[in-house]
Structure 1
Amino acid sequence: MENTMTISVRDLMAYIHRSGNIDNRFRSNTTLTEGTAIHQDVQKTYQEEDQKEVALEHTFVREHLSIHLQGRCDGLLQSDEGPIIDEIKSTARDLSEITEESDPVYWAQAKGYAFIYALQEQLQAIQVQLTYVQKQSKEKKKFLHTFSMEDLTLFIEECIDQYMSYARILLHIREQKESSIPDLSFPFDSYRDGQRKLAGSVYRTIEEKRDLYAQAPTGIGKTISTLFPAVKAMDLDRMEKIYYLTAKTVTRATAEEALKLMGDKGLTLRSVTLTAKDKICFQEETICQPDYCEYADGYYDRINDALVDIMMNETQMTRPIIESYAKKHKVCPFEFSLDLTNEADVVIGDYNYIYDPRVALKRLLPDQKKKTTLLVDESHNLVERAREMYSARLPEREFLLISEDWMYENEKLSKSAEAIYKSLIRLRGEAKQSFVLEDLDGGWEEALERFMEQAEQQLQNEPVDDQSEHLLETYFTTQNFMKILELVDKHYKIIGELEQGEFTLKLFCLDPSHVLQETTKGFRSSIFFSATLSPFGYYKDMLGGKKDDYILQLPSPYQTSQIDLVIAPLSTRYKSREQTAERLAELLFDQTQQRKGNYLFFFPSYQYMNLVYHHFKEYPVNIAVQEQGMDEERREDFLAQFLPGEELVGFAVLGGVFSEGVDLRGDRLNGVAVVGIGLAPRSFEKELIKDYFQKKGRNGYDYAYVYPGMNKVLQAGGRLIRSETDHGSIQLIDDRFLSPKYVQLLPEDWGDYRVVR
């Protein structure tokens, strides 16, 4: 029986023909959407007899291995001299810089399409055209060549022969995976309560190509209960890849541990963990230029050897593994990890690699998405993250600075920035506070495009210094604004934002559900799960859920007797804080005296935390206090102080780094207190969200304030019970916790509470 490897013409030619450096001196970062729009503009100029997006495929057989080559050529044009394969490429470069020799990979791709079409039609020769389109000016530059079938055959055969060794490695890896999945058993002796149901629901959802929203309480083992069935589902037809998406580094580590457990049970597949560029970069500054970074210099000359080496010798490509191979082969670790996503079976990374239009992986093409399942961990976080991702800002001050900085060096650039600054000034008018704009006139896009065009020309060969760095940042801010501007509809408000005298034009996404739904629908299946998708209707609604999606709400596996829940009806409202701070400190100290051990107390803000700390420090207790802007090392030092048998009180901020994703098991944590109901302060934007949902027939106040706030409370309280043997106390301090609205939002296992008067 022959084994078949499928590869696109684009990927084959990139693997064989790429060479040279990573050089991000300036890269305009044309998105897939922009590139598609440019392609469509060119295709509209085709004649009636011309064809676009022509599917082509051919299979090559080598020693019991079939290479199935497939792709779509942009255009198949008819001319008096015969058919022309047209390959369209958008570029930010000046067209005068582009020659026939500029992009060998593009020619290789076009020749691949030409070979398949000429073979199909039994042609002796065929014309191939590269059409470059300048992204800003939309000017075109074309190169046309005629290739004989003999030359094309020789070319494609050489490409296939060069690819064969890598194809055999990929086949070997695939066979390892496919042979290890059927016999893979759950990596624990037994399932916890609810675990089997969650795992079964995930498998069935993937099998039926649907989506699932699951609330699985803390301690149920969500990571293994979603990853294990998703891996087992790789046995299904056309299910090839898993993206495990998280908001925090600590949950990425949990996913890695789950894969290791399955590996110990015999699973053999490849996983890669993506780490942010600024964290994994070997250099002091992330300047991706060959004259600054030895790992960028000649990257594409060395990357294939690095890929073969790591894929043959490693299964879990975590950050330390990637770093060691990157140093060995002298390749950029960040770009290396991105290249590994093409071949890895499981990709672990932040939400933004799928959802953020600025950094989402462009290499994940529609056909690959259909074979990919998303596992979205702690998905309650995605609501606010998506709102940020799909909003954009234009700060008045940045354009003023650019107009001044470049006044003498580049007058055109200076004037284009000045034009935007003056437009922002006109919008601002006499306003003394933030306001809503009904619309932006058409002149805005033109002004922004003019600025971007001038910025691009300046940045093309600009050495990195503070002045050009600021220009680059403002360029990308503007580019993102234009991307988001295309999305603006009834789910948005255009805001003139005034803060401390600074004016910013903002495209504010009130409701990210429609964009999340659009992104999610391209994938085979998506599993959204969290310990706190409560209230369920709110989160399903906000995450873009559909009527036919599956839902699952699992009860807590723990006994209510494990939690001693206390509600202290003390006012924590802003106007009461000074008067109640001393009594609050007393309530917190009393909690530590009920049972000796370690405690974490959460406050709505640093200011309030410091106010209470002033009173609490008078008590004979060891205290660790969260500081603003703690780096990872300092966070780890903070948590390392919570040791079994110690008596330590940690002061932390609600909704901050310690209020979720922190796992202090057993006697590392004996009690938690949450001060306040987690409400965000009233703000212009929150009020817009409230009004928007009110008009949609929802409870706008709950959507804007109550539900997001209560989620922070539940997450913080969830730090306490992490296993079947954990016991401890939770104190909720605020009189509003006793109102029916909030009592209904408490989890079932928190239901048996007592009130401290």
Structure 2
Amino acid sequence: MEGAITISVRELVSYVYRTGSIDERFQTNAALVEGTAIHQEIQKKYKEGDQSEVFLEYEYEKDQMQLHIQGRCDGLLESEKGPIIDEIKSTAMELDEIEETTHLVYWAQAKGYAFIYARKEKLNHIQVQLTYVQKKTKEKKRFLRTFTYEELSTFMEETIEEYSSYARILLHIREQKNQTIPDLSFPFPSYREGQRKLAGSVYRTVKEKRNLFAQAPTGIGKTISTLFPAIKALELDDMDRIFYLTAKTITRATAEEALLKMKEMGLQLRSVTLTAKDKICFQEETICQPDYCPFADGYYDRINGAVVDILLHETQMTRPVIEEYARKHRVCPFEFSLDLTDVVDVIIGDYNYIFDPRVSLKRLMPDRKRKTALLVDESHNLVERAREMYSASIHLQSYMTVKEDWHGENDTITKAAMAIEKGLNRLYSSEEEYRRLESVPGELEENMERFLSEAESILQDDAEGERADRLVDVYFESQRFMKILEFVDEHYRIIGESTVEGNFNLKLFCLDPSHVLKETTKSFRSGIFFSATLSPFAYYKEMLGGGKEDYILHLPSPYDSSQIDVMITPLSTRYKNRAHTLTELARRLQHQVEEHSGNHLFFFPSYQYMEMAYYEFRKLSDVDAVMQERGMGEDRREDFLAQFEVGGRLVGFAVLGGIFSEGVDLRGDRLNGVAVVGIGLAPRSFEKELIKDYFNEKKRNGYDYAYVFPGMNKVLQAGGRLIRSETDYGAIQLVDDRFLSKKYLQLLPGDWENYRILN
């Protein structure tokens, strides 16, 4: 047998019968949840003897190919004329616009279930029903047809015949993968120190369906040491795919390079890199409508040809490759890349595709998650990113704007916005800027629901213009708030912020994202969380949702401490002392440049401090110096880094925790020295204090959790830009008297311990 493919009835008929355009004039993020609720509501009203969610399966075998077709029909109903297959569909369309032939793909799905059931029960004929439910009114419209078994058998035979050429391509690329993975060896002559241990730990973790938290030093080769064993693990039963998740574009490129290296060693598997819609969109504006975008118009008529073409001719579907084939077949590059996630073996993308409740891939069904391993690169970043993903705010000014925009033209949306405005005004306080609230008032929650409903009515009528755009923004802001409200529990605080201008912001603030990260990871086969700076280890393991049952790995640095000249300069960088110590700071930085020839990068806790130090340094030194700009785009970032040439003598001034302090790889003599000014502490704030108090209540050191550990992580990341290989040498200067306190000395990595103090 050449091979077998398991496919759902829905996937089968969608491939064969989907047509038309991408048309996102207005779609609610709640559509999937709404659809599920509507299904359940209809199914509750089934009569005694009727069944819901009936599992059906069918084995098809022909010409050395086997298809295992399966699925769950919404309803199997009893009637005087025999059984009825019921397929339920929720719709935003008005029911009088829907005719029997409006959605042929829905009939195809229902007929697929009907064929399997009729074949199993040896029926000569069977009834098929489409039940449409209008989302807003909950009104129903039904179409009932009777099919003979011969008709259904012919339909299924023709459907499979249409799908079979694509199925053979899938079997071919699977065979390529299965033949090349066993012969794949580590794509370098030897392992660096620690690499073999990391790779072995990753393989064991995936094999045992567990999670791993690994701190692996900068330069060890974390990407290849995690991807290689995960790919070898694709040979295991119930292991189909890998998600390689990153926070930055540059680390995505590193993963692509690792896959290319393994391809050169003979590996044949397919990967796709996901790029944000607004970055990869071919149009000036991201408007996914057929009358605006030729790549959305007729997308589903052309997508199958695009998928087949790229699968036959490419293995690595990076952004340039996606764009090339998208233009060739005139399809939306973003939707094209998402469609490819269904058939590739490795998916490279941002954290949000898995962890963000707003944008996570809805096509990831539970059975597919259980066969997928997550590789989470630079996972120290995920703590703060998850905190942002699971927090949400609404703003009084937003609803005031909606009220003004629609006053005198649409009373319902105006009244809904006014009701929220009044509710938020009741929470406003002229006496305190920030305060903690115990709950979101029930009346406000009800008014938010009403506002969302009224806004949907306007937006689904294709409202256009600036005020419609503003309404869309407020709609999604409100919807996100209501979505996050479902998560609010003891890990959250509700914050009211009152401004002197009279505005008021209501925020659902996630203090501790560990519980949601744990729940998300639990649905996948394995989660591998790795970084050079999971320090202190216990803090990051806890914050990333780790438990006692998870594996941990802490690898020492493979580099000799003699490669780094670590200096601690006990100079105060506290805000109140900065002006007083500025000249001395510039002298210390100038001394570093004189003592260590080559290129240097100096990191500062803020743009303002960086700019002050830059101009003071320029007074003392004639060495060329460049400074990070606010809001630099990707091209400007690349230009900035390109100036650090081998044999050069350049000083770069940058912001700690910014785009140049992690994920940047200036190997060899492109970087010879780093200075980190300050201990990375975030300024005191109401939110940070809430985090501190929360962890104090949990018997942790709240100040460390809120300020010290995140701050020192920035320091370690910045310092990690220096030594990237066994042949790199250079200097690190840590400028702050607090670095010499016991708390901070304990957080320095082992290869920084032979420091000298510059008095």
> Fold conserved (TM > 0.5)?
yes
Structure-2 residue corresponding to 1:590: 591
Indicate the residue corresponding to 2:642 in structure 1. 640
Cα 1:136–1:581 change in 2 (3 A) is farther
1:358 is aligned to 358
Where in structure 2 are the equivalents of 1:69-108 lying within 5 Å? 69-108=69-108
Distance 1:555 1:136, change over 3 A: farther
CA drift of 1:62 comes to 1.8
Moved more, 573-582 or 523-532: 573-582
Cα 1:73–1:716 shift into 2, 3 Å: same
Match of 2:652 in 1: 650
| Structure 1 position 17, deviation (Å) | 1.0
Identify the range of structure 1 (632-641 vs 417-426) with the bigger mean alpha-carbon deviation: 417-426
CA distance in 2, matches of 1:499, 1:594: 50
Q: How large is the Cα RMSD of the aligned pairs?
A: 1.5
How many pairs were matched up?
757
* 1:704 equivalent in alignment to 2:706: yes
CA distance in 2, matches of 1:137, 1:512: 37
Taking the aligned partners of 1:431 and 1:50, their CA distance within structure 2 comes to 61
| Cα pair distance change 1:323/1:264, threshold 3 Å | same
Within a 5 Å distance, the mapping from 1:67-216 to structure 2 comes to 67-216=67-216
SS of the equivalent of 2:746 reads helix
Which is further off, 462-471 or 648-657? 462-471
Which moved further from structure 2: 660-669 or 567-576? 567-576
Bigger mean CA deviation after superposition, 113-122 or 43-52 = 43-52
Contact 2:429 2:498 in 1 (8 A): no
Distance 1:431 1:528 in 2: 44
2:341 is equivalent to residue 329 of structure 1: no
User: Which stretch shifts more, 144-153 or 527-536?
Assistant: 144-153
Shift of 1:34: 4.3
Following superposition, the deviation at residue 558 of structure 1 comes to 0.4
1:505 aligns with 2:511: no
Q: 2:305 matched to 1:305?
A: yes
How far did residue 198 of structure 1 move? 0.3
Judged with a 3 Å threshold, the aligned counterparts in structure 2 of structure 1 residues 25 and 431 are, in CA distance, closer, same or farther, namely farther
**Structure 2 counterpart of 1:418:** 418
Which stretch of the first structure deviates more once superposed, 261-270 or 130-139?
130-139
Aligned to 1:557: 558
**Residue 83 of structure 2: SS of its match in structure 1?**
strand
Per-residue deviation, residues 328-387 of structure 1 (Å, max 9, x unmatched): 000010100000111111000000111111111111100111111110000000000001
Distance 1:513 1:662 in 2: 28
Alignment partner, residue 613 of structure 2: 612
Give the distance between the partners of 2:43 and 2:577, measured in 1 at CA. Answer: 66
Which structure 2 residues correspond to residues 660-739 of structure 1 after superposition, within 5 A?
A: 660-739=662-741
Query: Could you tell me whether the CA contact under 8 Å between 2:38 and 2:90 is conserved in 1?
Result: yes
Distance, in Å, in 2 between the alignment partners of 1:633 and 1:306 is 30
- Residues 489-535 of structure 1 deviation map (CA, whole Å, 9 limit, x = unaligned): 11111111235633111111111111111111111111000000011
| Residues 435-476 of structure 1: CA deviation (Å, up to 9, x unaligned) | 111112332332122111211121124254322111111111
Partner of 1:250: 250
Residues 402 and 539 of structure 1, relative CA distance in 2, 3 Å threshold: same
- Partners of 1:680 and 1:635 in 2: how far apart? 24
1:236 aligns with 2:236: yes
Change (3 A) 1:334 1:104: same
More deviation, 197-206/39-48: 39-48
Q: For the residues of structure 1 that align with 2:192 and 2:400, how far apart are their CA atoms?
A: 60
Q: Which residue of 2 aligns with 1:482?
A: 482
Shift of 1:79: 3.2
Which residue identity lines up with residue 615 of structure 1 in the other structure? Answer: E
Change (3 A) 1:391 1:265: same
**CA distance in 2 between partners of 1:128 and 1:696 (Å):** 57
Describe the superposition over 1:48-81 as per-residue Cα deviations: whole angstroms up to 9, x where unpaired.
4332222111011121101110111222233333
Give the whole-Å Cα distance in 2 for the aligned partners of 1:500 and 1:441: 23
User: How far does the alpha carbon of each residue in 1:74-105 deviate from its partner, in whole angstroms, 9 at most, with x for none?
Assistant: 22233333323222333344444433333222
Q: Which consecutive unaligned segments of at least 5 residues does structure 1 have?
A: none
Q: Judge conservation of contact 2:223–2:255 (CA < 8 Å) in 1.
A: yes
The structural deviation recorded for 1:24 is 0.9
Matched, 1:630 2:632: yes
- Does structure 2 conserve the Cα–Cα contact (< 8 Å) formed by 1:566 and 1:756? yes
User: How far did residue 403 of structure 1 move?
Assistant: 1.0
Output aligned runs, 1:444-455, within 5 Å. Answer: 444-455=444-455
Alpha-carbon distance in structure 1 between the residues aligned to 2:330 and 2:319:
16
Q: Which secondary structure does the structure 2 equivalent of 1:617 belong to?
A: helix
Q: CA deviation at 1:41?
A: 3.2
TM-score scaled by structure 2?
0.98
Q: Mean alpha-carbon deviation: is it higher for 344-353 or for 95-104?
A: 95-104
- Tell me whether 249-258 or 68-77 shows the greater mean CA deviation: 68-77
**Pair 1:375-2:375 in alignment:** yes
Give distance in 2, aligned partners of 1:495 and 1:265. Answer: 55
The AA in structure 2 aligned to 1:244 is: Y
SS at match of 1:154: helix
Q: Give the structure 2 partner of residue 542 of structure 1.
A: 543
Label 1:622 to 1:464 Cα distance change in 2 as closer, same or farther (>3 A): farther
Secondary structure in 1 matching 2:373: strand
- Retained in 1: the 8 A contact 2:203–2:233? yes
Say whether residues 1:276 and 2:272 are aligned partners. Answer: no
Question: Residue by residue, what CA displacement relative to the aligned partner does 1:280-300 show, whole Å, maximum 9, x if unpaired?
Answer: 111111111111111011100
Distance in 2 of aligned mates of 1:415 and 1:188:
67
Structure 2 gap ranges (5+) = none
Contact 1:20 1:297 in 2 (8 A): yes
Q: Per the alignment, do residues 121 and 75 of structure 1 end up closer, same or farther by CA in structure 2, a change over 3 Å counting?
A: same
1:547 partner letter:
K
Deviates more, 1:486-495 or 1:33-42: 33-42
Query: What's 2:290 paired with?
Result: 290
* Contact 2:22/2:298, CA 8 A, preserved across alignment: yes
> Quick one: which amino acid aligns to residue 638 of structure 2?
E
Cα separation, partners in 2 of 1:481 and 1:572, compared to 1, 3 Å: same
User: 1:346, 1:337 → 2: CA distance?
Assistant: 12
Q: Distance in 1 between matches of 2:446 and 2:130?
A: 28
Deviation, structure 1 residue 33? 4.1
Structure 1 partner of 2:575: 574
**1: CA distance between counterparts of 2:42 and 2:517?**
30
> Which deviates more from structure 2 when the two are superposed, residues 538-547 or residues 98-107?
98-107
Q: Which moved more, 1:462-471 or 1:14-23?
A: 462-471
Question: In the alignment, is the contact (CA less than 8 A) between 1:28 and 1:92 conserved in 2?
Answer: no
**5 Å matches for 1:209-224?**
209-224=209-224
SS at 1:745 equivalent: coil
Q: CA, structure 1 residues 308+623, in 2 after alignment: closer, same or farther (shift >3 Å)?
A: same
Is 1:13 aligned with 2:10?
A: no
Code of the residue aligned with 1:676 in structure 2: it is G
Deviates more, 1:34-43 or 1:396-405: 34-43
Equivalent residue for 2:742, pick from 734, 740, 748: 740
Q: Secondary structure at the match of 1:659?
A: coil
Q: Give distance in 2, aligned partners of 1:512 and 1:718.
A: 26
**8 Å contact kept, 2:6–2:67:** yes
Match of 2:78, SS state, is: strand
* Farther-moved stretch of structure 1 (67-76 vs 238-247): 67-76
Q: Choose 366-375 or 113-122, whichever is displaced more.
A: 113-122
Q: Percent identity?
A: 68
Q: Is the 8 A contact 1:25 1:463 kept in 2?
A: no
Contact 2:430 2:498 in 1 (8 A): no
Which residue number corresponds to residue 407 of structure 1?
407
Corresponding residue number in structure 1 for 2:471: 471
* C-alpha distance in 2 between matches for 1:311 and 1:710: 45
